[in-house]
Each structure stands twice: as C-alpha cells, then as structure tokens.
C-alpha cells in the first residue's frame, strides 16, 4: 500500500467536512472531485465548483460526501424546475443549465472511450440537440401503493424505497400524467385492491401508459397480480368516460414476486390491441410489451443519423440486431437490398412483421431470438451483411456477437448506445480486431437526466 493511500484511509472519516474542487460528473450525474488524491462523489455539485461537503461514506476506492455549502458556485447552476426533483431521482441534471448538461454528457462519452480504448483522440461530433427539453417522454410505468388509506403512484426515490408522487412529471407528456392520475383516482374510488409488495398480496401493482405523439391516443396497461379483478367493467366504463384519449385498456398479468414491471400475459379489456405511432413517413404498431424509443421527437433524428452513417446505396444487406418492433430496419429498408431484423421478444417481432406489411416494405424479414445466437447461424449459412446496426440494452453486446462481427469482417457497424461504458468496451474489442472508429455522435435523447445516447460508426477496409 502506498504512503498517500494509507494517509487517506486514516485521514478521511465519516462526518468529516472537506473542501473539494469538482472536476467532472459521474454516470449518475453526481459531481466528482478529489481530496488528497481520493475520489469524492458529491450529489448535486457541478464541475467548476468548489464545495464544502460532509463525508457520508468511506470506501477503499472512493468517498461519498454531502454538499453543505459553496466556496465557488458554478455560473451554470440553475433552479430545478420540478418541485420533487431532489426526492424523485428520475432526473439528475435539472440543476445544470441545458448547454452545460450537453457538454458534460459529451465529456462522459469521450471519457469512456479514453478509459476503455487505446485511442488518444476520439472523433466525437457535436451533439444533436433537442429544442424543448421538457414533456418529451411517451411512456410512464409507475408502481402504486396504499399509504394511509390513499392510493399513491410514483417513483421509488433513488436513495430509499419511499414512493414519491410524480404525477405531474415535467419530462413526461402531460396527457400521460393526466391519464395516470385519472386511473389512480378511479382505482381509489372503486376500492380496487392495491398490491402489497412485502406481503405479495393485493391486485393492482403498476399503472403503465404510452402515448402516440402522432395521434394523441393512449394505451393504458393495468399490471395486476391476479388474472382478473372484480371491478374490471366498472373501471373500464369510468376510464372511457373520464379519459377519451385512452383508446386501449389492457390487463397485464404479473403473478410473480419480481422487480420486473410487466408479466408475460396480456388481456385486452377494451379498445384497440395496439397503439399506432408514426416516425417520419412510417407507421408503427406497438404491443404493450414491445420496446419503443421513449422520446419520439428525437427518435426521428436518431434514425436519420443511423441512415446517414449506414451510407446505403441500394445494394446492401443490412442486419438490424436488437430490432424491437423493427423501426431502424424499416427506416433503412428503402435504401437497402435486404434487411434482416432479430429481437428476443416474440410480440415485438410480430409487431415488426406487421409494421413491414403496414408500410408496404417487402425487403425486410424479422426473426425471434438472441442476436448473438442467430447471427453466427446465419453466417454459417452464408449470410454476409454489409452493414450491421446494433442497438443493445445497457449491458452492451454479447461476446459471441462481437466474435461473429469480427469473423465476418462486416464492413460497417453502426452502434446505437445508451451506455457509454459498454459502448467503449465493445468498440475496444472491435478496434483490436481491425476496425477503426470513424465517428461518435451524441444525441440529446433524455434532457434533464444523465442518460447518454449516441450513434457510433466503425468500419474496416480489409474485406
């Protein structure tokens, strides 16, 4: 153990007040600074600030501290607009000016590449911005709970298991807020039994609503522990009366003790089975369980960027791995010879096929399975994609998928990412396998939050 390291352990104690200059933000939006070479995480502190903070946690590799007061305040500090910003935890950057939010997120992306690859200069482009950074989300899924005889719907705060009422969320589409409030009030009025997580008893667990920005129509999903509940008809009747924007009411049965919101089975209680959304000229039908981008306005810009870097001429075979309801593949189909999508959720694949038909697209096929399992099989059968688009969950790409991309020497890989760390690690493997990093484009998908979305292009010249 080095001398300095030893000193920190002795010196920094819980409760101690330290002065810390803040250098950057972490992946959860927290301020990061150094005290005697020890990394200190301070929620709510902004790079450029110098703060006094009380140590709350001491770990071998880092210290957490609570901001007490400022010695120097950032010129980019702004008053958070949301009244429950500090309790909720859903947003992490509302206290920072918008332009600075973008700059810091861009730096997070750059730092990830510097940390996980051997590159010294990272080709990061300017961020694709969003005009109005509020009310952009098209979907909310909120747990409900019975607290002192009232039905409360909200988010579990980041630091505790306490439910914070977020029924007027400022990044959510206002009609989603209104619909969920109505559903909550009706549940209370009808005396619908509310799920008790600890006892695993009761009925209503979550309220989920998704809006189509194109039509203003809403799909409401009631997630219940039981297959049916006595007030079903009355709930539907009241909901239709009070919320004409709701065009689809679905019961999702989730009987398990689980942290997953949705269960496997859906039953249509009333209205349309699927929600119809439009991005650009394309129409998409969405099942309750299918993933769809959360910010429809920015999605069009995201897909345009994917199309731009995919650089199609009409002769290419494109694989859309992690295709969801087929959106990216269908977006690219007009400029490709053939599109093949793969996705694990069968409902989403069924939607993707239907979406292809609905849009008159005949050169796109969709398959259910894991990208890392199917791509090697197709490669074995002779498939040689010219472009592979990957848009994986936060965990990034499976090793087997990267191996297949390397074996096939796919000329162009377009990587849509919501997690800079896994993106950079995966890119590093591709770099070591002969790829070059052409560009990384940050996109403002989740303003007010620390989430970083980006489109990356990797190419190789040796096929």
Give the torsion sign (CA, 182, 186, 188, 193). negative
Element (H, E) at 264: none
Choice between 202 and 329, CB closer to ligand SAH: 329
Q: Which is nearer to ligand SAH, 67 or 344 (CB)?
A: 344
Which neighbouring-strand residues pair with 13?
none
Catalytic member of 82, 88, 418, 427: 418
Least distance in angstroms from the C-beta of 72 to ligand SAH: 41
Q: Which is nearer to ligand SAH, 391 or 426 (CB)?
A: 391
Q: Contact at 8 Å (CB) between 185 and 177? A: no
CB of 401 to ligand SAH, least distance (A): 8
Our CB check for ligand SAH shows the closer of 372 and 444 to be: 372
Active site residue 240: no
Both tokens of 304, joined, read 């345009």
Q: For ligand SAH, which is the closer residue by CB, 156 or 378?
A: 378
Nearest-CB residue for ligand SAH: 324
Q: Does 343 belong to an annotated binding site? A: yes
367 annotated to bind ligand: no
Q: Which of 417, 447, 335, 392 is nearest to 99 (CA)?
A: 447
Within 275-370, residue ranges assigned H as helices are: 296-310, 327-333, 346-358
To the nearest whole angstrom, how small is the minimum distance from the Cβ of residue 335 to ligand SAH? 17
> Greatest CA span in the chain, whole angstroms?
71
Chain centroid, CA 188 distance in Å: 31
Inter-helix orientation angle 399-408/371-380, to 10°: 30
- Residue 327 has φ and ψ, to the nearest 5°, of -55, -55
Q: How far apart are CA 164 and CA 278, in angstroms?
A: 33
Residues in touch with ligand SAH (CB under 6 A): 291-293, 322-324, 327-328, 342-345, 348, 370-372, 391, 393
| Residue 416: CB minimum distance to ligand SAH, A | 7
| Nearest distance in Å: CB 383, ligand SAH | 16
Contact 24, 96 (CB under 8 A): no
Handedness of CA 82, 85, 89, 93 (dihedral sign): positive
Q: Is 304 annotated as a binding residue?
A: no
Taking alpha carbons only, the member of 75, 81, 93, 85 closest to residue 29 is 93
Annotated binding-site residues for S-adenosyl-L-methionine read 293, 322, 343, 391
Active site residues: 418
Annotated binding-site residues read 293, 322, 343, 391
């Amino acid at each position: 153990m080095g001398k300095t390291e030893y000193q920190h352990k002795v010196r920094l104690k819980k409760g101690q007040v330290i002065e810390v200059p803040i250098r950057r933000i972490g992946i959860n939006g927290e301020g990061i600074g150094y005290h005697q070479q020890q990394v200190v995480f301070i929620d709510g502190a902004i790079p450029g600030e110098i703060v006094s903070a009380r140590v709350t946690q001491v770990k071998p590799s880092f210290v957490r501290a609570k901001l007490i007061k400022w010695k120097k305040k950032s010129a980019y500090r702004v008053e958070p607009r949301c009244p429950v910003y500090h309790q909720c935890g859903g947003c992490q950057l509302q206290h920072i000016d918008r332009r600075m939010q973008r700059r810091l997120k861009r730096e997070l992306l750059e730092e990830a590449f510097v940390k996980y690859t051997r590159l010294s200069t990272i080709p990061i482009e300017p961020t694709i911005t969003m005009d109005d950074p509020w009310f952009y989300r098209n979907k909310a899924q909120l747990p409900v709970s019975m607290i002192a005889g009232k039905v409360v719907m909200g988010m579990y705060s980041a630091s505790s298991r306490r439910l914070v009422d977020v029924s007027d969320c400022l990044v959510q589409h206002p009609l989603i807020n209104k619909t969920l409030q109505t559903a909550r009030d009706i549940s209370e009025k009808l005396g619908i039994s509310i799920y008790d997580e600890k006892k695993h008893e009761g009925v209503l667990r979550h309220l989920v609503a998704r809006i189509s920005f194109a039509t203003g129509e809403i799909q409401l999903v009631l997630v219940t522990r039981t297959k049916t509940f006595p007030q079903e008809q009355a709930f539907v009747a009241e909901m239709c009366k009070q919320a004409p924007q709701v065009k689809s009411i679905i019961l999702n049965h989730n009987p398990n003790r689980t942290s997953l919101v949705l269960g496997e089975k859906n039953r249509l209680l009333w209205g349309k089975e699927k929600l119809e959304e439009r991005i650009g000229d394309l129409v998409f039908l969405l099942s309750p369980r299918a993933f769809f981008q959360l910010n429809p306005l920015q999605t069009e810009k995201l897909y345009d960027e994917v199309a731009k870097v995919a650089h199609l001429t009409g002769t290419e075979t494109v694989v859309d791995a992690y295709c969801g309801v087929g959106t990216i593949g269908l977006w690219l189909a007009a400029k490709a010879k053939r599109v093949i999508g793969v996705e694990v959720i069968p409902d989403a694949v069924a939607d993707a096929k239907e979406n292809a038909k609905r849009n008159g697209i005949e050169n796109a096929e969709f398959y259910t399975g894991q990208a890392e399992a199917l791509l090697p099989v197709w490669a074995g059968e002779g498939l040689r994609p010219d472009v592979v688009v990957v848009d994986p969950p936060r965990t990034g790409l499976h090793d087997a998928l990267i191996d297949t991309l390397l074996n096939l020497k796919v000329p162009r890989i377009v990587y849509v990412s919501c997690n800079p760390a896994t993106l950079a690690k995966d890119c590093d493997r591709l770099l070591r396998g002969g790829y070059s990093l052409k560009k990384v484009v940050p996109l403002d998908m989740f303003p007010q939050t620390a989430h970083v979305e980006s489109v990356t292009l990797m190419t190789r010249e040796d096929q």
